């Protein structure tokens, strides 16, 4: 019995001795993966699907972790995504149709909880749970119609429901002394955000050179013949003060935020 207690005490002492807190900061670049159809491009020659992921862009992360042993640890992280523009809608060169250019981009805060495993003192992997805790998908549109003399610019913010995803990375450390470590990682994120609401944030329009309000523009569109109104049908939800998606016949699609990228950072070990 005494030998067992001594053995357990020795194991616990080793575990405590090897336990370690750390914090890290990193930045990186990611390309979109698991791309889905975001919209379409319409021209005189036909219609083409526009695919992308709002996870493409630059991102930063701050993480804190704790190693229970030399091999196994747990890590909590928060990060910010500065997404690059993704083409959502294009219409050009179509007789009587307006010229349309709409782009969207992610501006999102995320959080992750991961397990970390050290293969060696330098090589490690981590994997865990990922979610979005804030931000939006920002949509910017530019619409011109020669028939109406219309020049329209707007920005609409899309907000999603609480999502769940996975995150994983393989990394390599470059020790810079007892406390500081540089590292680089290849990181994969798999997550989609279901559309919830949207709000019109910026609006500017002129008709025949005269500035008009959003309500005046909608009233003008309502007076057009049915075939002319149909050309603006997809734009109307983007010009509303607030829209609840998933209701009144409006679908609530999943916005892709998956990515694969590279991080560079620095760690401080306590």
pLDDT per position as a tens digit, 125-142: 999 999 999 999 999 999
- Span 14-35, mean pLDDT? 82
Task: Supply the pLDDT for residue 17.
Answer: 43
Task: Supply the pLDDT for residue 10.
Answer: 38
Task: Supply the pLDDT for residue 230.
Answer: 87
- % of the chain with per-residue pLDDT over 90: 83
pLDDT per position as a tens digit, 202-242: 999 999 999 999 999 999 999 998 888 888 988 999 999 99
Three-state secondary structure string covering the chain: CHHHHHHHHHHHHHHHHHCEEEEEEEEEEEEECCCEEEEEEEECCEEEEEEECCCCEEEEEEEEEEECCCCEEEEEEEEEEEECCEEEEEECCCCCCCEEEEEEEEEEEEEEEEEEEECCCCEEEEEEEEEEEEEEEEEEEEEEECCCCEEEEEEEEEEECCCCEEEEEEEEEEECCCCEEEEEEEEEEECEEEEEEEEEEEEEEEECCEEECHHHHHHHHHCCCHHHHHCCHHHHHHHCCEEECCCCCCCCCEEECCEEEEEEEEEEEC
pLDDT per position as a tens digit, 43-93: 989 999 999 999 999 999 999 999 999 999 999 999 999 999 999 999 999
Q: Which of 2.40.160.20, 1.10.8.50, 2.40.50.500, 1.10.1660.10 would CATH assign to domain 19-269?
A: 2.40.160.20
Q: State the average pLDDT for the chain.
A: 91
**Quick check: 16 pLDDT over 60?**
no
pTM of the model: 0.87
User: Residue 19 — pLDDT band, cuts 50, 70, 90?
Assistant: low
**Quick check: 187 pLDDT over 60?**
yes
């Amino acid at each position: 019995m005494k030998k067992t207690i001594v053995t357990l005490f020795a194991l616990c002492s080793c575990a405590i001795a090897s336990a370690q807190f750390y914090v890290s900061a990193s930045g990186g670049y990611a390309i979109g993966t698991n791309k889905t159809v975001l919209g379409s491009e319409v021209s005189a020659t036909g219609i083409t699907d526009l695919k992308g992921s709002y996870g493409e862009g630059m991102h930063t992360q701050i993480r804190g972790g704790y190693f229970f042993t030399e091999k196994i640890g747990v890590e909590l992280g928060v990060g910010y995504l500065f997404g690059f523009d993704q083409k959502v809608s294009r219409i050009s060169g179509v007789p009587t149709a307006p010229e349309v250019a709409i782009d969207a981009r992610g501006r999102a805060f995320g959080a992750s909880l991961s397990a970390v495993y050290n293969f060696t003192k330098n090589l490690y992997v981590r994997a865990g749970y990922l979610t979005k805790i804030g931000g939006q998908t920002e949509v910017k549109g530019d619409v011109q119609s020669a028939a109406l003399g219309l020049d329209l610019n707007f920005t609409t913010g899309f907000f999603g429901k609480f999502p769940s995803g996975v995150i994983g990375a393989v990394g390599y450390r470059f020790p810079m002394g007892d406390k500081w470590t540089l590292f680089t990682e290849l990181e994969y994120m798999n997550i989609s955000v279901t559309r919830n609401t949207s709000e019109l944030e910026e609006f500017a329009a002129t008709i025949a050179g005269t500035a008009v309000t959003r309500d005046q523009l909608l009233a003008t569109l309502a007076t057009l013949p049915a075939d002319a109104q149909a050309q603006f049908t997809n734009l109307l939800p983007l010009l509303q003060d607030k829209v609840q998606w998933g209701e009144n016949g409006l679908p609530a699609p999943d916005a892709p935020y998956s990515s694969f990228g590279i991080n560079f950072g620095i760690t401080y070990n306590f």
